Amino acid sequence: MRTLKLVLVLMLATFGIAAAQQQKSLATVKINTPTVQCESCKNRIERYLSREEGVQSSKVDFKKHVTTVKYWTDRTNVENIKTAIANCGYDADNVTANTESYNKLPLCCKKPEDGGGMDPKKH
């Protein structure tokens, strides 16, 4: 009987350790996205990030130029998220937008120095 109790205690301890190692952690990060200018930009980034592995949710504030992302730390990291935003065509903190993706953006979503910028009549 004593051996059976010892085996049960060891099994429970093993399962407890395994469960603790598999514990998922949700983190939130705010990324500076200075080239986001309009609702179109916001929708594009949020749609793109919704398909990114490990991203639970994202919210783009184009007026403050900040993107807030909730993500699972065991599936992705901040650098991957910044790279995803850059691959979508926008600057993300220290990661510059992918040139090919940026060139495909509508004119209103491009930087003012490239002839873009928000046209209040269209937005």
Q: How are strands ordered across the β-sheet holding 26-32?
A: 26-32, 66-72, 55-61
Residue owning tokens 């986001």:
36
Residue 59 maps to a domain? yes
What is the percent of the chain with per-residue pLDDT over 70, rounded to a whole number? 76
Check residue 8 and give its pLDDT: 53
Q: Has residue 38 got a pLDDT over 80?
A: yes
Residue 48 sits in a domain whose CATH number is: 3.30.70.100
Asked if 88 contacts 35 with a C-beta cutoff of 8 angstroms, the reply is no
For residue 122, tell me if it sits in a domain: no
Amino acid sitting at position 57: S
- Confidence band, pLDDT 50/70/90 cuts, at residue 21: low
Range of the domain at 106: 26-114
* 50 has a pLDDT exceeding 70: yes
Q: Based on the number of CB atoms within 10 Å of its own CB, is 59 exposed (0-12), middle (13-18) or buried (19 or more)? A: middle
Tokens 């469960």 locate to 19
Give me the pLDDT at residue 69, please: 98
Look at residue 7 and tell me if it is in a domain: no
pTM value > 0.85: no
Give the Cα separation of 27 and 54 in Å (integer).
11
Q: How confident is the model at residue 123 (pLDDT cuts 50, 70, 90)?
A: very low
Query: In this structure, what are the phi and psi dihedrals at residue 18, rounded to the nearest 5 degrees?
Result: -60, -40
Q: What is the pLDDT of residue 51?
A: 95
Residue 18 domain-assigned (yes or no): no
Task: Give yes or no for residue 103 having a pLDDT over 80.
Answer: yes
